[in-house]
Amino acid sequence: MWLRVGGGLLVVLAMAVGSLEGQDKKAPPGAKEVVGKVKVVDKTKKTFTITLADGKDRLFQVKDDTKFIGPKGGVSKEGLADDRMAKGNEVKVTPAKDEKVAAEVKLPVRMATAKDKKDK
């Protein structure tokens, strides 16, 4: 009986640890998303600026562990070089504990290009 109880506890513990690994350790719990339109992307400085709804600009730094996530949940490996980080596109940024660093950037839907329309 003790073997079953111990085995069950190990399974529960393994599941709990596995679910914690998927959480972003950088973003504070309950961090609010900041929504704005891309104004400037500086790949050399690893920063981008968005314009908020109230007209103010906000600068964010990008670190190696900043996640760029598409609208369907896919992670972009291109980061700042992703074509959806273009001027005028709306993004949602979750700041890290240091409010100047972006922990996560939610990208918009990729727009069809003229070539894509031509192929249809």
Which residues make Cβ contacts (< 8 Å) with residue 64, sequence separation at least 6? Answer: none
The confidence score (pLDDT) of residue 21 equals 42
For the chain, which residues make up each domain, given as ranges?
34-106
Higher pLDDT, 37 or 8: 37
* Structure confidence at residue 31 as a pLDDT band (50, 70, 90): confident
The yes/no answer on whether domain 34-106 falls in CATH 3.40.640.10 is: no
Render 35-46 in DSSP notation, one character per residue: EEEEEEEETTTT
CA distances from 86 to 38, 79, 83, 91 (A): 6, 12, 6, 10
> pLDDT band for position 80 (50/70/90)?
very high
User: Where residue 86 falls among pLDDT bands split at 50, 70, 90?
Assistant: very high
